[in-house]
């Protein structure tokens, strides 16, 4: 806590003035560019590696950047459903980004088939299809990517599929007013990759 309090004090003394006008304009309304689904890993900070300002991203964070598949009588997680509904209906976002990352603890638990605490085990149960896909093509990944990171990338793609099980997302995709994106953040290099349908792999985002 001492470090956090010190951070608040430093912000107040060194950075607050330059942010005041920005926050003032956001006090009553914000107009984010995208719904950004990220892992709650403390090393993953979307606003830093995407160089975004306050108000630019509507961020949903949970263990493993997960989107549980929609169920006919509601979603398996109400907070995820609420975030999607609010982003599309109230904030009118045009893009949803699911961003995984390297050396993900959640994916390591899945890969190593660790015995997990009940809540974590239940949450990560939806990763089973990704693990099965990983086993099927585990010999095909590039030599410069570890099995753990390959599973992490497969999991990102599975979440995009899960998103499409939500009726509202499916409807907006068919109308052409929404786009889905799979991103992957490499902690070691701070590089961000995006899945390319054309190349069928994650490619570095660059000019």
CATH value at residue 61: 3.40.1050.10
Query: Same domain for 65 and 127?
Result: yes
Residues 56 and 71 in one domain: yes
pTM of the model: 0.86
Query: Residue with structure tokens 């509904």?
Result: 85
For position 84, what pLDDT does the model report? 96
**Do 202 and 153 form a contact (C-beta atoms < 8 A)?**
yes
- Assess whether 11 and 39 both reside in one domain: no
Are residues 118 and 185 located together in one domain of the fold? yes
Q: How confident is the model at residue 20, as a pLDDT?
A: 62
- One pLDDT digit (tens) per residue for the chain, 207 residues: 876 667 556 656 666 566 666 655 655 667 888 999 999 998 998 887 786 777 789 999 999 999 999 975 454 588 899 999 999 999 999 999 999 999 999 999 999 998 889 999 999 998 999 999 999 876 555 567 899 999 999 999 999 999 999 999 999 999 999 999 999 999 999 999 999 999 889 999 986
Same domain, 112 and 17: no
pLDDT score, position 49: 79
The pLDDT score that the predictor gives to residue 23 is: 59
Give helix then strand counts, H and E, for the chain: 9, 8
**Residues 113 and 153 grouped into a single domain:** yes
Quote the domain boundaries for residue 140: 31-204
Task: Check residue 40 and give its pLDDT.
Answer: 93
CB distance 109 to 130 below 8 Å? no
Per the structure, the count of domains in the chain is 2
Q: Residue 99 region, left (φ>0) first, then alpha (ψ -120 to 50), else beta?
A: beta
123 and 161 assigned to the same domain? yes
What are the pLDDT digits (tens) for 135-167?
987 655 556 789 999 999 999 999 999 999 999
- For residues 58 and 113, membership in a common domain is answered with yes
Looking at residue 75, its pLDDT comes to 47
Task: Identify whether the C-beta of residue 109 lies closer than 8 Å to the C-beta of residue 115.
Answer: no
Q: Kindly report the CA angle at 160 between 158 and 161, in degrees rounded to 5?
A: 65
């Amino acid at each position: 806590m001492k470090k956090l309090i010190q951070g608040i004090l430093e912000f107040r003394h060194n950075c607050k003035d330059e942010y005041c006008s920005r926050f003032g304009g956001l006090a009553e309304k914000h107009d984010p560019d995208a719904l950004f689904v990220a892992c709650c890993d403390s090393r993953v900070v979307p606003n830093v590696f995407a160089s975004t300002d306050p108000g630019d991203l509507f961020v949903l964070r949970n263990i493993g950047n997960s989107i549980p598949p929609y169920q006919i009588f509601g979603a398996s997680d109400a907070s995820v459903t609420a975030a999607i509904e609010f982003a599309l209906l109230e904030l009118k976002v045009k893009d949803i980004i699911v961003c995984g990352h390297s050396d993900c603890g959640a994916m390591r638990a899945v890969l190593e088939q660790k015995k997990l605490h009940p809540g974590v085990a239940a949450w990560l149960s939806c990763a089973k299809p990704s693990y099965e896909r990983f086993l099927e093509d585990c010999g095909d990944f590039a030599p410069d990517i570890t099995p753990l990171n390959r599973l992490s990338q497969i999991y990102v793609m599975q979440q995009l599929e899960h998103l499409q099980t939500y009726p509202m997302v499916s409807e907006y995709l068919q109308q052409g007013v929404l786009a889905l994106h799979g991103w992957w953040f490499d902690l070691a290099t701070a590089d961000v990759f995006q899945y390319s349908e054309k190349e069928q792999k994650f490619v570095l985002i660059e000019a």
